[in-house]
Amino acid sequence: MTSAATMHRINDTLSSALTWGIKREGAFAKNWAAFVELPAVTRPKPLVWTPERVEHWKRTGEKPGPVMVWTAEQTGQFLDIIKDDRLYPLWHTFIFQGPRRGEMCALPWTEVSLTDLWLRISAQTVEVAYRTYGEAPKADSVRTVLMGLESAEVLREWKARQQREREQWSEVGARVESGLAFTHENGEPIHPDWVSRRFKRLVELSGLPPVRLHDARHISASLSLLAGNDIKVVQEKLGHSSRQITSDTYTSVLPELLRAEAESTLSVVPREVSYRVHQALKIPESAFRDGLAVVYAHAASYGDLWAVGALLRHDGELLGEIRAAVRSPEQAAAAAEKLLREHCTEGSLQLVRVENLHAAVPEDQRQHLTLVRFVIGRVTASDVAGWLERAQTDDAAHEGPGQETA
């Protein structure tokens, strides 16, 4: 059955053709398409896969709505499950950059900068009766999308893999040089419908509640808003025609907002983080006051590894240390939190509060350092905020050990 939205698009196409015929050829007296009464288009609102909706889907197989989006946790699970898929970089880009499938099928490497962390959407592949055609997107959809460091690293590894495939297929004279960023092993362009079907199959294999490939745009927008980004930044990123940027001042600020959005969106997706214990964590009894203790995790990168140490004060004795092969300060902070949570579980403690103090690190060191503060309790604390304020006042009276600027 033809949807109302499709009817409107068909009518718009006919109206455009009739208008052209009236103006250029005089072939028609009226634009008859303008007299067609069409049903109203109601855009379905995206719904989040809450635990209740997931349970209903598992029990009945029914989706609560046509447009569904994963939570940040579900998104992280999906990325961890499919990380070995050949086109993992494509799925990663869909989720964090929010492009349309035709835009990714037409993206050339010449419009991707892994140094300056951006990709430019200026072409798209459209499908008609399974035949593909290249065309320029609407003016509102031509845009530059900035990437976070993790996204750039994923694409850098993908480009290296694509080069290896180019050499292998060139040896047998079967390489197709399309210049596109995402291709099959032999270099042939990927059909948009194939991308959708492959994504659907991966979702089925993951066991997660179903979402469509186009829903990845809604997921990307949801993650960006969850990260605290301005709605106009999200509109610019997705190339929505409804964005309204009218101020020169706002335009000048926009690149900075986009860069912050690109980095922070990655940070809200929980990922499985593994680490190696370098020194077992031990929190002394003297660290607890009124049943609570404050522990700082200081993380620093050394090549491909991050060293994460737990201390009571910035210049105090090391309580424990782990080494994690992660890519960003956010993932190092996640490794620290995992360490503290596991320690609390083993010691019948609870993690009362987690505060990421990354903003307190000097800006020129933020790529290589991060700081997280944890409040650990033996029992449920009724006034953690007041207790923490008193503890910080006491620390300041002793020359500020454990301050946020450590």
Q: Which residue has the higher pLDDT, 299 or 399?
A: 299
The answer to whether residues 3 and 43 touch, using CB atoms and an 8 Å cutoff, is no
Interatomic CA distance for residues 43 and 114, integer angstroms: 36
Confidence of residue 397 (pLDDT cuts 50, 70, 90): low
Is the pLDDT at 118 greater than 80? The verdict is: yes
> Average pLDDT for residues 110-126, to the nearest whole number?
94
CATH topology of domain 43-267: hpI Integrase; Chain A (1.10.443)
* Of the listed ranges 159-168, 249-258, 285-294, 315-324, the one predicted with least confidence: 249-258
Looking at the chain, the whole-number percentage of residues with pLDDT higher than 70 is 84
Mean pLDDT, residues 139-161 taken together? 92
Cβ(406)–Cβ(296) under 8 Å?
yes
Residue 260 has pLDDT above 70, yes or no: no
Q: Where are the domains of the chain?
A: 1-35, 43-267, 276-397
Whether residue 403 is predicted with pLDDT greater than 50 in this model: the reply is no
Could you give the CA distance from residue 39 to residue 57 in angstroms, rounded to a whole number?
30
Query: For residue 302, what are the contacts with CB-CB under 8 A and spacing of at least 6?
Result: none
pLDDT, residue 396, reads: 54
Hey, what are 351's tokens?
């993690």
Stronger pLDDT, 34 or 163, i.e. the higher one: 163
pLDDT classification of 246: cutoffs 50, 70, 90: very low
Report which of 313, 324, 284, 292 is spatially closest to residue 371, judged by C-alpha positions.
313
pLDDT of residue 261: 65
Helices (H), 207-269: 215-226, 231-238, 248-267
pLDDT of 218 over the 70 cut: yes
Q: Find the mean pLDDT for residues 335-356.
A: 91
Q: Indicate the average pLDDT of the chain.
A: 84
Is the pLDDT assigned to residue 202 strictly greater than 60?
yes
Tally the residues of the chain: 406
Angle at 149 between CA 145 and CA 154, to 5 degrees: 90
Q: Which residue has the higher pLDDT, 239 or 56?
A: 56
Q: Where are the alpha helices (DSSP H) in 268-328?
A: none
pLDDT-wise least confident of 38-52, 174-188, 316-330: 38-52
